Structure 1
Amino acid sequence: MQLKDLVDNKVYTNPISEISIDNKSIINTINPHSYCEAKKDSEFTKALLSSDVLLPDGSGIVLASKILSGKTINKIAGADIHQYLLEQANLKGDKVFYLGASENTLQLIEKRIAKDYPNISVSSYSPPYKPEFTSTDTSKMLAAVNSFNPKILFVGMTAPKQEKWVYANQTSINANIVTSIGAVFDFYAGTVKRSSPFWIKLGLEWLPRLVREPKRLWKRNFVSTPLFLWDLLKTKCGI
């Protein structure tokens, strides 16, 4: 994965309002950490680059676009695409499905959907917690999704597992929009607090999360971010 080619040709640059739920699409997000992880994982790279829409979910990606391509783009986080798609589904009375997380988290999501978006029909499935799914696991997951036949499928199983699972099974999924949004399941359920708009506007959404979850997030901030910035510098200087 080459950073210049990524920001020139793949990262989404249009307003979020131009994403249509009527077009069959796989929507993923990319940030400096997932960029660095994909460079070590060819299947993850394929999953990201095969996306119909690859959202710039990170101030580092926004910075790279400005420095390498001269494009001023807006960060679009997983929480942003989640809210936008729910608003669109609510207008049309569509069905949405949540695949991932615990039963408790999914119940909280369904309860909140009923309150926030009463025109949406919602269902969910909690897959087993394991590094890799068996063919039986995947069959059950697909059966749960396809029997509901949602317009939108939200997948939340952490990266890169979620993106790679969607990539491997995309032809078997009956949904118009499939988007992997990871931590958004917990944000929306209220089991994990998202950073406030103050930090988001500063481009520092990661900072309060790092303070709350240092063991889980230290690597992406103290390893991946410097590596990404070094790659950006090398690319800009033609090294």
Structure 2
Amino acid sequence: MYSTFQNENIFGFFISGRGVRGNVDLSLKLIGSGKKGSYMACANPHSLVVASCDSIFDNALKNADILLPDGTGIVLAAKILNVPIHERVAGSEFFNAFSENVSKNGGSKYFFLGSSKQVLDLIVTRLNSEYPNITVCGTYSPPFKEVFSDFENIRMIEAINQASPDVLWVGMTAPKQEKWIYQNKDKLEVSFIGAIGAVFDFYAGTKKRSSPFWQKVGLEWLPRFLKEPKRLWERNMRSTPIFLSWVLKEKIRQLWKL
């Protein structure tokens, strides 16, 4: 794991307070270090609540070299608890800023693991158009299942290593993607791995992010919830209240110590 400088402790998770540019700079330093298996993950209230009941996911988040504050709830909690995290960094913003940077500075080789062939093809088409200096050296659409067999894992790892990418982007939704990275990173000949989930669909254009208005007011989740209430019910109606209760208890504890 990288230095905890500018990583802020929220409920035992060391979340980056560097902002978009700082996190991109750190990721490039990790790539330049020559170390294999460095990775980035995203933290939001739902992921932290799920991790509290899933030890592998918990370890995956706590061992990430970069843990982005991808959720307004994280920034709000930081403000309430006097933790210096002032900027939300969504996976989409990180991916776009990272790609912009490497494209301007000689390019890079990407591999995309996850989603469907249709989505992957759309990603490649758009990336080739927007960032011609970035080469997509491979894509892989894994089976849609909760747990992969040993054979399926071997095939994915072999495909990635044979392509020899600089960066592996994984989009299999949380916590599946983070757990897969954590359990397989030491077998991958890749300098940097990013768990970016829904960014695959956003970048491909198969799903749209909420408008900048909803992002700015901290309610990006609301339009998505109204469109897919069944899928997002647990995230918004169960995990959010639990997370807010954690914040309240911690604030009371802080005040009690004064």
**TM-score bucket (shorter structure):** over 0.9
* Number of the residue aligned with 1:98: 112
Note if contact 1:21-1:88 (Cα within 8 Å) is conserved in structure 2: no
Identity of aligned residues (%): 47
Q: CA deviation at 1:147?
A: 1.2
Distance 2:161 2:252 in 1: 49
* Number of the residue aligned with 2:126: 112
Distance 2:161 2:21 in 1: 27
Check if 1:89 corresponds to 2:102.
Answer: yes
Query: Deviation digits for residues 166-200 of structure 1, max 9, x if unmatched?
Result: 00011111222101011110111111111111111
* Number of the residue aligned with 1:126: 141
Which of 220, 229, 244 is the matching residue for 1:214? 229
Q: Which structure 2 segments of 5+ residues have no match? A: 1-7, 32-37
Q: CA deviation at 1:66?
A: 1.5
Matches within 5 A, 1:20-99: 20-24=27-31, 25-91=38-104, 92-99=106-113
* Number of the residue aligned with 2:20: 16
Distance 2:157 2:72 in 1: 34
Distance 1:149 1:138 in 2: 17
Distance 1:95 1:5 in 2: 33
* Number of the residue aligned with 1:142: 157
Q: CA deviation at 1:81?
A: 1.1
- The residue type equivalent to 2:128 in the other structure is A
Secondary structure of 2:206's match?
Answer: coil
Secondary structure of 2:170's match?
Answer: strand
Distance 2:242 2:228 in 1: 21
Note if contact 2:16-2:85 (Cα within 8 Å) is conserved in structure 1: no
Moved more, 42-51 or 63-72: 63-72
Secondary structure of 2:28's match?
Answer: coil
Distance 1:225 1:209 in 2: 15
Point out 4+ residue stretches in structure 1 off by more than 3 angstroms: none
Q: CA deviation at 1:7?
A: 6.2
Q: CA RMSD in A?
A: 1.6
Q: Report the TM-score, using the length of structure 1 for normalisation.
A: 0.94
Q: Which structure 1 segments of 5+ residues have no match? A: none
Secondary structure of 1:21's match?
Answer: helix
Note if contact 1:8-1:69 (Cα within 8 Å) is conserved in structure 2: no
Note if contact 1:22-1:176 (Cα within 8 Å) is conserved in structure 2: no
Distance 1:52 1:102 in 2: 28
* Number of the residue aligned with 2:35: none
Count of residue correspondences: 236
Distance 2:85 2:70 in 1: 14
Distance 1:9 1:220 in 2: 19
Note if contact 1:28-1:51 (Cα within 8 Å) is conserved in structure 2: yes
Moved more, 89-98 or 73-82: 89-98
* Number of the residue aligned with 2:10: 6
Distance 1:95 1:171 in 2: 19
Distance 1:79 1:207 in 2: 18
Secondary structure of 2:193's match?
Answer: strand
- The residue type equivalent to 1:23 in the other structure is L
Q: CA deviation at 1:68?
A: 1.6
Q: CA deviation at 1:9?
A: 6.7
Query: Deviation digits for residues 83-112 of structure 1, max 9, x if unmatched?
Result: 122112312221011100001110010011
- The residue type equivalent to 2:234 in the other structure is K
Q: Report the TM-score, using the length of structure 2 for normalisation.
A: 0.87
Check if 1:190 corresponds to 2:205.
Answer: yes
